[in-house]
């Protein structure tokens, strides 16, 4: 992409093509001989990481779309069936869902890198603006993708975000109707979001081509912000940059795999495992983490229109950055003041993100307002002012000169990172629950926790018995088929046992030749029948509160971990909030209602249920279910067993996930090591 190439392939067939379409020459000049500055650091590998992630998302997305059904009644179920029944469907889904988060994480690093090193300055303004366009398209794509599983957060996220447009005077309402294709978010909305979610990534890919083109015209910026002057300042793209990028990507993959295999739900919201319900708003609506800073800005402005304008301008302002910051020196390395303000700005963004996830009350609102002002002040006051008053340090004459005078700065920053990670890790080791005595569910030792966790077969079988004899009279288990009981990683029944178990059930089938419905014994392929014909019946029979389906209950329930626990959880892989909560509720019934708490007629006091008034009467009592294997028949044991069983129903492939995760980690670590040493060799005489 940098001028006509003199590349000549040696193979005659390729020469024939090259004379008619010089595509190989284009590739050669753009990605092989293309000169890259010698002094690029690892922050520059995020460009390659992002291209990789885009490819990954498109690839997994296309396969997922083959199995997904974009219909309001079927979407939630089809996603669950992908995870349960499609070969490696759980892997595809985790890769795609975590991939979105990783994509945004990488794009934020990439943008902050550009901000720090002044990569938006003359002559790279168009390059930067194209990047902002990509970012906007990514946000739209990510938002629509989050709607597709059609859980509670999907639905209400879609409602809140589409309603942003209703703030536009005069035409707002019609725009919203146009977006919905109806009078509220519904099936037409889901359909069009699916269509657009499939389309936009290809638009992104198109803009990425322009972005790379613009990059190759202007040349890459570099940490010292001086343009390459002589041959000595650059190295050819291949092998130098290629191998460095490969090493960067493989390190990034380690992080990505950590989420895919060990923490797939860490970045998600438990509420999204509850099917969308247009009649109930979840108590606390939060968007995905990567929108949180903007959501915080929206909420801190107490006027609807102004809030929406504030939120959008927080992004659009980035387009004007090249003109807001007029300083001649590019890199903040040589701008002592700009450097400090940059880090303050990063802190402001992170804090805004934290506030976006908090309820909009009291101190959070005030802090949100202050930080919103700081955010805009950085662009509108600090940057323009700094370019006038700051005296930058002298910039080296050339890149080679900069390399020669390089000190031990990199070592220092690596040290800081290691110390910070170590501190976090130490903190997480002492998993003492600070909030003893409150309504936090107590932690349990689960056989399935941790990177090598496995289900305890005995507990699964006992839990199934408890479910069948106690829970099943009110709660369905609609995503589980009898055949699943014989699946590897499950309760471990044989085919014959499964058939016998299934035949105990009466299943409605039909219509037969005479057009009648009839009942027959269950088969392995049938699903657990629901105790009530529909939700209304379930509601009517249970005093107005429908007993929830239990297939996903351990993933659909959670409790707030709060700061700093959620950071430790990342390292300890603690993700058993759901099971801890379920087990706690089962044991949390108390006869005596504590003083100051009033329980309405027809409800029961439960220590751990939010609000304490639960409609379900105490379900378990000692000795209620007999065990053949001599395990104690106590409520505590029942609760533990049935929770283990329900964890399996929520995540039947968990054992396969963790097993494959270990193999992938071994591979990635070796691969990254090889890449590192190859890179060292290639760069040996360039440093």
Interface positions with other proteins (CB under 8 A): 156, 159-160, 162-164, 166, 177-186, 188, 192, 278-285, 299, 302-305, 307, 360-361
Q: Nearer to other proteins by C-beta: 160 or 377?
A: 160
Residues β-bridged to residue 261: none
In angstroms, the CA 131 to CA 124 distance is 11
The residue (of 180 and 482) whose beta carbon lies closer to other proteins is 180
CB 26 within 8 A of CB 1: yes
SS3 content of the chain, % helix, strand, coil (to 5): 60, 5, 35
Give the span between the Cα atoms of 416 and 418, in whole angstroms: 5
Calpha distance 269→551 (Å, rounded): 17
For the annotated binding site, the residues are 471, 474-475, 616
Q: What is the CA angle 619-625-626, rounded to 5?
A: 170
The interaxial angle of helices 409-429 and 565-572, nearest 10 deg, is 90
CB of 301 to other proteins, least distance (A): 8
* Under 8 Å between Cβ of 180 and 188: yes
Q: How far is the CB of 438 from other proteins (least distance, A)?
A: 22
Give dist(CA 35, CA 395) in Å, integer: 22
Q: Residue 248 in contact with residue 64, Cβ under 8 Å?
A: no
**CA–CA separation, 189 and 72 (whole Å):** 9
- Cα separation, 251 vs 245, in Å, equals 10
Smaller CB distance to other proteins: residue 307 or 392?
A: 307
Helix (H) or strand (E) holding 641: helix 635-650
Identify the CA nearest to 446 among candidates 557, 579, 565: 579
Please report how close the Cβ of residue 668 comes to other proteins at its closest, in angstroms.
41
- Can you spell out the DSSP letters for 341-359? HHHHHHHHHHHHHHHHTS-
Other beta carbons within 10 Å of 103: 22
Minimum separation from the CB atom of position 280 to other proteins (A): 7
Q: Minimum Å distance from CB 566 to other proteins? A: 22
CB of 72 to other proteins, least distance (A): 10
Q: Is 304 exposed, middle or buried (0-12, 13-18, 19+ CB in 10 A)?
A: middle
Q: Which two tokens stand for residue 332?
A: 């903040």
Q: How far is the CB of 10 from other proteins (least distance, A)?
A: 54
Query: Are the beta carbons of 501 and 482 closer than 8 angstroms?
Result: yes
Taking the complex as a whole, the smallest distance from the CB of residue 281 to other proteins amounts, in Å, to 4
Rounded to a whole number of angstroms, the minimum distance from the CB of residue 388 to other proteins is 37
Q: List the structure tokens of 224.
A: 């010292």
List the structure tokens of 192: 């069009």
C-beta of residue 242 within 8 angstroms of C-beta of residue 27: no
Cα–Cα dist 265/250, whole Å:
22
- The binding site for heme c consists of 471, 474-475, 616
- Integer Cα distance of 211 and 668 in angstroms: 30
Which CB sits closer to other proteins, 282 or 490? 282
Is the Cβ of residue 68 or residue 295 nearer to other proteins in the bound state?
295
- Enter the DSSP assignment of 37: E
C-alpha gyration radius of the chain:
29
Beta strands in 16-76 (DSSP E): 35-37
What minimum distance in Å lies between the beta carbon of 278 and other proteins?
6
Please name every residue paired with 520 in a beta bridge, in sequence order, or none if there are none: 507
Give the nearest distance from C-beta 217 to other proteins in angstroms: 38
Which stretches of 496-589 are assigned E, i.e. beta strand? 506-509, 518-521
Tell me the closest approach of the beta carbon of residue 191 to other proteins, in angstroms.
10
Q: Which is nearer to other proteins, 229 or 284 (CB)?
A: 284
Nearer to other proteins, 181 or 239 (CB): 181
CB hemisphere CA count around 348 (13 angstroms): 22
DSSP per position, 145-209: HHHTT-BHHHHHHHHHHHHGGGGSTTTHHHHHHHHHTSSSSSHHHHHHHHHHHHHHHHHHHHHHH
Cis ω for the linkage preceding 123 (within 30 of 0):
yes
Nearer of residues 306 and 417 to other proteins, judged by Cβ: 306
Q: Tell me the closest approach of the beta carbon of residue 210 to other proteins, in angstroms.
A: 27
β-strand partners of 408: none
């Amino acid at each position: 992409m940098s001028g006509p190439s003199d590349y000549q392939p040696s193979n005659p067939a390729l020469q024939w093509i090259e004379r008619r379409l010089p595509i190989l020459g284009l590739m050669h000049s753009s990605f092989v001989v293309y000169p890259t500055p010698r002094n690029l650091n690892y922050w520059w590998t995020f460009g390659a990481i992002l291209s990789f992630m885009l490819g990954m998302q498109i690839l997994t997305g296309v396969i997922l779309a083959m199995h997904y059904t974009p219909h309001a009644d079927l979407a939630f179920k089809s996603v669950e069936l992908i995870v349960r029944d499609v070969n490696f469907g759980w892997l595809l889904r985790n890769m795609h869902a975590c991939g979105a988060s990783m994509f945004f994480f990488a794009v934020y690093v990439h943008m902050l890198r550009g901000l720090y090193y002044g990569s938006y300055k003359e002559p790279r303004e168009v390059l930067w603006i194209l990047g902002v366009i990509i970012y906007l398209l990514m946000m739209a794509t990510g938002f629509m993708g989050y709607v597709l599983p059609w859980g509670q957060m999907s639905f209400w996220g879609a409602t809140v975000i589409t309603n942003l447009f209703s703030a536009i005077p005069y035409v707002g309402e019609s725009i919203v109707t146009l977006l919905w294709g109806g009078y509220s978010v519904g099936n037409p909305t889901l359909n069009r979001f699916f269509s657009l979610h499939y389309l936009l990534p290809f638009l992104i890919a198109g803009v990425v081509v322009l972005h790379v083109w613009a990059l190759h015209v202007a040349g890459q910026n570099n940490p010292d912000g001086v343009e390459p002057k002589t041959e000595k300042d650059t190295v050819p793209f291949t092998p130098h940059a290629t191998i460095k990028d490969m090493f960067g990507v493989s390190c990034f993959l380690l992080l990505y795999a950590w989420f895919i295999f060990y923490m797939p739900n860490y970045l998600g919201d438990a509420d999204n495992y509850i099917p969308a319900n247009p009649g109930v708003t979840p108590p606390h609506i939060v968007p995905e983490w990567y929108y949180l800073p903007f959501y915080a800005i929206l909420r801190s402005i107490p006027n609807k229109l102004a809030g929406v304008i504030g939120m959008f301008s927080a992004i659009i302002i980035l387009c004007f950055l090249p003109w807001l910051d007029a300083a001649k020196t590019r890199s903040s390395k040589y701008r002592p003041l700009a450097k400090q303000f940059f880090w303050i700005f990063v802190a402001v963004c992170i804090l805004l993100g934290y506030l976006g996830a908090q309820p909009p009350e009291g101190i959070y609102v005030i802090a949100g307002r202050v930080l919103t002002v700081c955010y805009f002040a950085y662009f509108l006051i600090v940057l323009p002012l700094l370019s006038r008053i700051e005296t930058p340090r002298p910039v080296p004459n050339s890149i080679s000169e900069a390399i020669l005078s390089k000190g031990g700065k990199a070592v220092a920053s690596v040290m800081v990172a290691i110390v910070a990670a170590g501190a976090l890790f130490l903190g997480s080791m002492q998993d003492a629950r600070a909030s003893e005595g409150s309504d936090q569910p107590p932690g349990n030792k689960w056989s399935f926790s941790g990177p090598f966790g496995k289900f305890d077969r005995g507990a699964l079988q006992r839990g199934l018995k408890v479910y069948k004899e106690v829970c099943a009279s009110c709660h369905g288990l609609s995503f589980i088929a009898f055949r699943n009981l014989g699946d590897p990683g499950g309760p471990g029944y044989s085919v014959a046992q499964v058939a016998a178990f299934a035949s105990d059930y009466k299943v409605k089938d039909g219509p037969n030749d005479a057009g009648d419905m009839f009942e027959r014994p269950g088969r392995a392929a049938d699903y657990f029948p629901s105790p009530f014909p529909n939700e209304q019946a379930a509601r009517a029979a249970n005093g107005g509160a429908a007993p929830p389906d239990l297939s996903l209950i351990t993933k659909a329930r959670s409790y707030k971990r709060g700061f700093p626990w959620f950071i430790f959880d990342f390292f300890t892989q603690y993700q058993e909030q759901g099971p801890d909560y379920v087990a706690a509720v089962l044991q949390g019934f108390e006869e005596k209602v504590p003083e100051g708490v009033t329980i309405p007629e027809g409800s029961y006091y439960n220590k751990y249920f939010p609000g304490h008034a639960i409609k379900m009467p105490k379900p378990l009592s000692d000795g209620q279910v007999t065990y053949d294997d001599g395990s104690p028949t106590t409520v505590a044991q029942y609760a533990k067993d049935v929770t283990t069983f329900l964890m399996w129903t929520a995540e039947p492939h968990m054992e396969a996930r963790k097993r494959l995760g270990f193999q992938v980690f071994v591979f990635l670590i070796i691969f990254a090591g090889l890449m590192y040493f190859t890179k060292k060799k290639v760069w040996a005489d360039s440093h």
